[in-house]
Amino acid sequence: MANAQTRLDRELDSRDKSTRPQQWRAPDLLPVPNPRTGWAHRWVRVSMMGTADAKNISSSMREGYEFCKAEDYPEMMLHALTEGRFKGNIEVGGLMLCRIPAEFMDQRRKYYADMNKAQADSVDNTFLRASDPRMPLFAERKSKTTFGSGS
Protein backbone atom coordinates (compact mmCIF):
# COMPACT_ATOMS: atom_id res chain seq x y z
CA MET A 1 0.00 0.00 0.00
CA ALA A 2 2.97 2.30 -0.34
CA ASN A 3 1.70 3.48 -3.74
CA ALA A 4 -1.72 4.70 -2.57
CA GLN A 5 -3.17 7.58 -4.62
CA THR A 6 -4.82 10.53 -3.01
CA ARG A 7 -8.01 11.44 -4.84
CA LEU A 8 -10.65 14.04 -4.17
CA ASP A 9 -14.24 12.98 -3.90
CA ARG A 10 -16.07 13.34 -7.21
CA GLU A 11 -18.53 15.81 -5.67
CA LEU A 12 -15.67 18.21 -4.96
CA ASP A 13 -14.66 18.36 -8.64
CA SER A 14 -16.03 21.46 -10.32
CA ARG A 15 -16.93 21.77 -13.98
CA ASP A 16 -18.20 25.34 -13.81
CA LYS A 17 -15.87 26.56 -16.53
CA SER A 18 -17.02 24.00 -19.04
CA THR A 19 -20.78 24.22 -18.42
CA ARG A 20 -23.00 25.99 -20.93
CA PRO A 21 -25.26 28.92 -20.02
CA GLN A 22 -28.41 27.71 -18.34
CA GLN A 23 -30.72 30.22 -19.99
CA TRP A 24 -31.31 31.18 -23.61
CA ARG A 25 -30.75 34.80 -24.59
CA ALA A 26 -31.17 36.62 -27.88
CA PRO A 27 -27.95 37.17 -29.84
CA ASP A 28 -26.67 40.71 -30.23
CA LEU A 29 -27.58 42.06 -33.63
CA LEU A 30 -24.35 44.02 -33.90
CA PRO A 31 -21.06 43.12 -32.26
CA VAL A 32 -19.79 45.54 -29.63
CA PRO A 33 -16.09 46.43 -29.68
CA ASN A 34 -14.07 46.41 -26.48
CA PRO A 35 -14.23 49.87 -24.89
CA ARG A 36 -11.35 52.23 -25.68
CA THR A 37 -10.47 55.04 -23.28
CA GLY A 38 -11.40 58.42 -24.72
CA TRP A 39 -13.51 57.04 -27.58
CA ALA A 40 -17.20 56.40 -28.15
CA HIS A 41 -18.32 53.94 -30.85
CA ARG A 42 -21.32 53.92 -33.15
CA TRP A 43 -22.47 51.97 -36.18
CA VAL A 44 -23.00 54.34 -39.12
CA ARG A 45 -25.03 53.39 -42.21
CA VAL A 46 -22.90 53.40 -45.37
CA SER A 47 -25.32 51.55 -47.64
CA MET A 48 -28.89 50.36 -47.76
CA MET A 49 -30.04 47.52 -49.98
CA GLY A 50 -26.75 47.65 -51.89
CA THR A 51 -26.95 51.40 -52.59
CA ALA A 52 -24.30 53.66 -51.03
CA ASP A 53 -25.57 56.33 -48.63
CA ALA A 54 -23.06 59.09 -49.37
CA LYS A 55 -25.14 61.75 -47.57
CA ASN A 56 -25.11 59.83 -44.27
CA ILE A 57 -21.39 59.02 -44.57
CA SER A 58 -20.53 62.66 -45.26
CA SER A 59 -22.74 63.91 -42.41
CA SER A 60 -21.13 61.51 -39.94
CA MET A 61 -17.61 62.46 -41.03
CA ARG A 62 -18.40 66.19 -40.65
CA GLU A 63 -19.76 65.48 -37.17
CA GLY A 64 -16.38 64.03 -36.15
CA TYR A 65 -16.76 60.28 -36.66
CA GLU A 66 -13.95 58.28 -38.23
CA PHE A 67 -13.97 54.72 -39.52
CA CYS A 68 -12.45 52.08 -37.24
CA LYS A 69 -9.66 50.11 -38.86
CA ALA A 70 -9.82 46.36 -38.32
CA GLU A 71 -6.11 46.25 -37.43
CA ASP A 72 -6.87 48.46 -34.38
CA TYR A 73 -9.74 46.19 -33.29
CA PRO A 74 -8.46 42.60 -33.37
CA GLU A 75 -11.64 41.34 -31.65
CA MET A 76 -13.60 42.51 -34.72
CA MET A 77 -11.35 41.04 -37.44
CA LEU A 78 -14.14 38.64 -38.44
CA HIS A 79 -16.06 41.62 -39.85
CA ALA A 80 -13.16 43.29 -41.68
CA LEU A 81 -13.69 44.11 -45.33
CA THR A 82 -11.06 42.60 -47.63
CA GLU A 83 -11.97 44.49 -50.80
CA GLY A 84 -13.80 47.52 -52.10
CA ARG A 85 -13.97 51.15 -51.14
CA PHE A 86 -13.85 50.53 -47.38
CA LYS A 87 -11.16 47.84 -47.41
CA GLY A 88 -9.67 47.27 -43.96
CA ASN A 89 -12.64 48.73 -42.09
CA ILE A 90 -15.27 46.91 -40.02
CA GLU A 91 -18.67 46.52 -41.67
CA VAL A 92 -21.79 44.53 -40.82
CA GLY A 93 -24.86 44.62 -43.06
CA GLY A 94 -24.30 48.09 -44.51
CA LEU A 95 -23.19 49.57 -41.17
CA MET A 96 -19.61 50.68 -40.59
CA LEU A 97 -18.08 50.80 -37.12
CA CYS A 98 -17.01 54.37 -36.39
CA ARG A 99 -15.49 56.13 -33.43
CA ILE A 100 -15.56 59.68 -32.12
CA PRO A 101 -13.71 61.34 -29.24
CA ALA A 102 -15.71 60.98 -26.01
CA GLU A 103 -15.66 64.73 -25.37
CA PHE A 104 -17.39 65.27 -28.74
CA MET A 105 -20.14 62.88 -27.62
CA ASP A 106 -20.57 64.82 -24.37
CA GLN A 107 -20.86 68.06 -26.35
CA ARG A 108 -23.33 66.40 -28.74
CA ARG A 109 -25.50 65.14 -25.85
CA LYS A 110 -25.53 68.62 -24.29
CA TYR A 111 -26.43 70.24 -27.62
CA TYR A 112 -29.43 67.95 -28.15
CA ALA A 113 -30.51 68.17 -24.48
CA ASP A 114 -30.50 71.99 -24.73
CA MET A 115 -32.42 71.83 -28.02
CA ASN A 116 -34.96 69.46 -26.47
CA LYS A 117 -35.40 71.74 -23.42
CA ALA A 118 -35.88 74.83 -25.63
CA GLN A 119 -38.56 73.05 -27.66
CA ALA A 120 -40.36 71.80 -24.53
CA ASP A 121 -40.26 75.31 -23.01
CA SER A 122 -41.64 76.76 -26.23
CA VAL A 123 -44.54 74.29 -26.26
CA ASP A 124 -45.27 74.97 -22.58
CA ASN A 125 -45.21 78.75 -23.11
CA THR A 126 -47.48 78.55 -26.16
CA PHE A 127 -49.91 76.32 -24.28
CA LEU A 128 -49.98 78.51 -21.17
CA ARG A 129 -50.39 81.71 -23.24
CA ALA A 130 -53.71 80.32 -24.48
CA SER A 131 -54.91 79.93 -20.90
CA ASP A 132 -57.62 82.35 -19.72
CA PRO A 133 -58.03 83.22 -16.03
CA ARG A 134 -61.80 82.67 -16.33
CA MET A 135 -61.23 79.12 -17.51
CA PRO A 136 -57.65 78.07 -16.78
CA LEU A 137 -56.15 75.12 -18.59
CA PHE A 138 -54.45 74.14 -15.37
CA ALA A 139 -56.49 74.41 -12.22
CA GLU A 140 -54.60 74.24 -8.98
CA ARG A 141 -56.42 71.67 -6.92
CA LYS A 142 -56.03 71.96 -3.21
CA SER A 143 -57.60 69.89 -0.53
CA LYS A 144 -57.56 70.55 3.13
CA THR A 145 -57.66 67.96 5.85
CA THR A 146 -58.36 69.04 9.39
CA PHE A 147 -58.46 67.06 12.53
CA GLY A 148 -61.10 68.72 14.50
CA SER A 149 -61.90 69.65 17.93
CA GLY A 150 -65.18 67.78 17.64
CA SER A 151 -67.42 70.80 18.16
Q: What is the mean pLDDT of residues 15-28?
A: 69
* Cβ–Cβ under 8 Å, residues 118 and 125: no
Query: Looking at residue 111, what is its pLDDT?
Result: 94
Say which amino acid occupies 92: V
Rounded Cα gap, residues 98 and 85, in angstroms:
15
3-state secondary structure of 15: coil
Q: Are 47 and 57 in contact (CB under 8 A)?
A: no
> pLDDT: is 7 or 29 the higher one?
29
Lowest mean pLDDT among 5-14, 59-68, 99-108, 115-124: 5-14
pTM of this prediction? 0.60
**What does the domain layout of the chain look like in residue ranges?**
36-102
Return the higher-pLDDT residue of 15 and 59: 59
- Check pLDDT > 60 for residue 112: yes
- The pLDDT assigned to 149 comes to 73
pLDDT tens for each residue of 80-89? 888 888 888 9
- Give me the mean pLDDT over the 29-34 stretch: 85
Burial label, 70 (beta-carbon count in 10 A; 0-12, 13-18, 19+): buried
